[in-house]
Structure 1
Amino acid sequence: MSVFDMEKQKKILVLCGGKFAFQTLQLLAYEKFICAIGIGKSNDTIIEALERESEESNIGFKSFPNKKSITGMRSWIDFIQPDYIFCISFPFLLPETVLSYGQDKFINFHPGPLPQYRGPMPIFEVLKNQETETAICVHFMNARFDEGNIIFNDPITIETGDTYGNLTAKLSERMAQVALNVANMIQFASIIPSQPQDEKLSYYYEKPELSDTYINWKRMSASEIISLINACNPWNTGADASLYGEQIKIISATLLDLPHNSQAGAIVSVTNTLNIACEENQQIAVEILSTDSGIMTAKQFAVLKPILTNDLIKI
């Protein structure tokens, strides 16, 4: 008989926010760790799918659609009696009345390095800031977002051209293995090491607003603009800009290292791409954009609109 067989299997309740946690849920369920699933606000299709899977697997399930519903969480946890609670993109802050269920029983899996990238959308922020590496930070929870003692940061390389969508997919896949590693840690370790966050390095990013997703042609370099476009694809349907008084979103673009004699934000040329002047004598080649008429290629856009060179995307 293995050591694992002799140990009583730890019971883990997972609080999540949707499909980002699906691979983790599947792996933890396969390894017999999950005893219940709680989901925060999400669409009906995801909620119904998780509830159905939970019933078929004889796992507890509860939906928490809004902040007010958190008042019933503690009694539900008391009924389930988990050994630990894992949080993966759960949208609501847990109050002390819930956290008092047990010291160091709540563990959060934050999709960004801490303490540098606190906040609800670290994937957007690391891409916008042109980081070459991000992380999944595993930390104990307290009554403030992303401030509990860190167990470890699991680093993940950001590849050139990564968008919000494919980086999210990579993090979701890696999250499953990280969560299983932590589950095995709490199964066998007598103590889980952790350390306080260095507040000198901490920064909290609020949820992005229009000013955060808008391209400023005069103040941003070509590489910064490309990074912003990738950071906004697909959650914001691209980075925001304007043309002919119409709000557009640039979904896909590449760096075009060609000189120009135009003002930043001006259209230099139109081929299969919409080539726009940037600072530092560079251009970006816009490939796909979204307009009031729909999502289209730059070439399709050029057919619809009377584009002239030196037209300004944004003054």
Structure 2
Amino acid sequence: MEIQKKILVLCGGKFAFPTLQLLAFEKFMCGIGIGNASETIIDALERESEENHIGFKSFPDKNSVAEMRLWIDQIQPDYIFCISFPFLLPESVLSYGAERFINFHPGPLPQYRGAMPIFEVLKNQETETAICTHFMNSEFDRGNIIFNDPVPIETGDTYGKLTVKLSSRMAQVALNMANMLQFASSIPNQPQDESLSYYYEKPALSDTYINWNRMSAEEIMALINACNPWNAGADATLQGEQVKIIIASLLDEPHDDMPGTIVSVNDRIQIACADNQQIAVDVLTTDSGIMTALQYKILYPEKTGIFN
């Protein structure tokens, strides 16, 4: 009987937990490396690793990755899976073996390179995303593609909902990859099409800010969903006060107001958008805390006017 392949998983936090659990249950996993995680996550994974006799190592910063090769040499995995590991692996680590390092990117490649493809696909109003499995090299998200596994984006998906969906799907994709490696003598792959490539930097305030004069109601809704919960909502300004809009919906009611005008405040805050449509805000964050639109009306009865 052929000996089962051993897989070491490098990850960045909770997003990889379903994958870790499934690969451990199927007896594939021989080690876990965690990068730049909280003490709570590190402690939990270290305890689980000890109980299951799995190698464990924390990599708290970029400099600590220099210690990785020695650790890998000690464990001797057949393959290394990466799931949201935050640091680029140098050639000194990748030289452990060609086509032994496989990354699972939570977005389609090469169109959505970068650290936060979940935010970008939602902001760009895509109807589908993917988990891209690819070989790794010394550049982020540029190795040869093994396959893109499509994942539909449903109406109303937020960053949180889509993250949970992708995390769950990631576990099955990683298990399928592990089973493929168990029996395949070679892994079909192809170079990425650079004519389709785009790299997204980590979102800045300008990326999460609502521009009422330029953005349509659907674009604003897409941004709000893309910012919930990781940015605690989409950023905006109300009469000089910084706010974040957390939950809202499209309102099929035209208006004659300037974009950004508060049309009415009842149980919802209705705001005019640039395309003659409105959004209805249900939950937002102000300097006074998180509140519903009704609570906002009671707390700020005098506040009407324009979001800037």
Q: TM-score range by the shorter chain?
A: over 0.9
Distance in 1 (alpha carbons) for counterparts of 2:251 and 2:240: 25
1:248 aligns with 2:243: yes
Distance in 2 (alpha carbons) for counterparts of 1:134 and 1:294: 33
> CA deviation digits over 1:218-259, x for unaligned, max 9?
110000000000000000000000112111000010000101
1:110-259 matches, cutoff 5 A = 110-259=105-254
Distance in 2 (alpha carbons) for counterparts of 1:43 and 1:297: 31
Query: Does the CA-based 8 Å contact 1:267-1:276 persist in structure 2?
Result: yes
Distance in 2 (alpha carbons) for counterparts of 1:301 and 1:244: 14
Residue 306 of structure 2: aligned partner: 312
1:281 partner SS: coil
Residue 45 of structure 1: aligned partner: 40
Show structure 1 runs of 5+ residues with no match. 1-5
The code of the aligned residue for 2:107 comes to G
The code of the aligned residue for 2:252 comes to D
Residue 63 of structure 1: aligned partner: 58
The code of the aligned residue for 1:247 comes to Q
Query: Does the CA-based 8 Å contact 1:267-1:308 persist in structure 2?
Result: no
Residue 90 of structure 2: aligned partner: 95
Structure 1 residue 302 displacement after superposition: 1.2
Structure 1 residue 306 displacement after superposition: 3.1
Distance in 2 (alpha carbons) for counterparts of 1:89 and 1:202: 19
Distance in 2 (alpha carbons) for counterparts of 1:17 and 1:43: 10
Residue 68 of structure 2: aligned partner: 73
Distance in 2 (alpha carbons) for counterparts of 1:306 and 1:69: 54
**Structure 1: which 4+ aligned runs deviate by more than 6 Å?**
none
Distance in 1 (alpha carbons) for counterparts of 2:118 and 2:288: 29
The code of the aligned residue for 2:213 comes to K
Residue 8 of structure 1: aligned partner: 3
Structure 1 residue 307 displacement after superposition: 4.2
TM-score (norm. length: structure 2): 0.99
TM-score (norm. length: structure 1): 0.97
Distance in 2 (alpha carbons) for counterparts of 1:136 and 1:215: 29
Residue 86 of structure 1: aligned partner: 81
Structure 1 residue 168 displacement after superposition: 0.1
1:58 partner SS: coil
> Identity over aligned residues, as a percent?
75
**How many pairs does the alignment contain?**
308
Structure 1 residue 194 displacement after superposition: 0.3
> CA deviation digits over 1:75-102, x for unaligned, max 9?
0000010000000000000000000000
The code of the aligned residue for 1:313 comes to F
> CA deviation digits over 1:126-171, x for unaligned, max 9?
0000000000000000000000000000000000000000000000
